[in-house]
Structure 1
C-alpha cells in the first residue's frame, strides 16, 4: 500500500511539474516602428533617497508609435536605477511608478513593454526602464515613485 501511494505521489508531482512548465516562446508579430523625440526630467539632481534606496533617473525618451492601430499614441520611457543603501533587502519595480499627465490623469505603466522589478541586497543596485503609453495630444507632467498609498518621490517632466 505504501509503495502504491509513493508511486502515485511521484507521478502526481511529475504531472504537475510538466503541466506548469512553459517552454513555448511567445513572440508578438506586432511591428512597431518608432520616431524618436526628446523628453527631459527637469530636476537639477535626478537622484533622490527614499526608503533607504538611492533612486536615479538616468535618462528619458519619447517615441511615436507608428503601428496602424496605435498611430495616435506615444511611448514615454524612463530609465531608473535604484541602489540599496540600507542594511536590509529592498525592492523596486515598474509597478512602483506612475505618470501624471497634462489632462490631470494618473497613468499606470504599460506592461506590454519590458518590465523590471526585483529585490536586492545592501550595496547592490537594480536598473530598469518604465514605459507609459499616452495619446498623442496628452503630455506627461510628473513622474511619481509610489510604492504604496503615498507618493514618496516625484520628478517634473517636460517635453522638448
Structure 2
C-alpha cells in the first residue's frame, strides 16, 4: 500500500499527515496458516481459506475518504504494507485476526515527517476480510498528533 506516498502530495504540516491505516508496535505470535506442508487438500501450495496469509488488495476508509493499498501477511506472523511499513499479525480465533503496522511518512523531499501506527481487528470470510480499528499519527518527534477510526476491506489478490 502506498498510503503515505499518495498522501504526501497533500501534506502541509505533520498534523495533517493522516496518511493511512496500518500500524506499528510488533505483536508476538505466529500463525498456523498453512494446511500441512503442501497447502490445502486438492490445492498444493495454496494457503488455507481461513488464513490471512498472502497478498491482499485493500480499500482503506477513514474520515469519509477511501484509499487503495496492498498488504502482505506471512505465515510467520509478519505484516507488510507493499511500498512501505511493517508489523505483525496474529490469529485471534476462527476467521479472526489482528494486525499492527507502522508506516513512516516522508515529505516530497525525503524528510521524515513522522509515522502512522495502524491497529486493526479483522474478520475473514473466504477471500475477503473486513477490519476496523484506530490509526495514530505521530509527528517527527514521536508526539501523537492525531487519532482516527479506520476501516479496511481486503480482497485476496
Larger RCO (CA within 8 A; separation ≥ 6) = 2
Q: TM-score, normalised by structure 2?
A: 0.30
Kindly indicate which of the two structures has a greater share of residues assigned to strand.
2
Kindly indicate which of the two structures has a greater share of residues assigned to helix.
1
Q: TM-score, normalised by structure 1?
A: 0.30
Structure number with larger C-alpha Rg: 1
